[in-house]
Amino acid sequence: MAAAGSSCSLVLSLYKTMLRESQKFSSYSYRTFALRRIREAFQENKNETNPEMIQELIEKAKSTTEIIRRQVLIGHLYTAQKLIIEGQ
């Protein structure tokens, strides 16, 4: 049971980290896509009970977080004008 609790807190931490990192995208389109996709992926897998599958999903989330961080960094190197929808 303790493993389930630590797994739950790890998943929640990963979710928050992914959302926080996705907020850093300078491009509105990338930012909204990433946020929507993260929410959908976690929602799709919220009832997963297989420990092996949960571990696989956690590893995938960690990998995706690193990809998001790299893409944010690259996005900041090549900034563009903000869209009208983003406001001033």
The chain-wide mean pLDDT, for the chain, equals 88
pTM of this structure: 0.81
Apex 79 CA angle, 42 and 63, nearest 5: 30
Count how many domains the chain has.
1
Domain contains 58? yes
57 found inside a domain: yes
> Can you give the residue range of the structural domain that contains 38?
11-79
Q: Is 63 domain-assigned?
A: yes
Contact 27, 80 (CB under 8 A): yes
Q: Which residue has the higher pLDDT, 85 or 13?
A: 13
What is the pLDDT confidence band of residue 62, given thresholds at 50, 70 and 90? very high
Residue 56 lies in a domain: yes
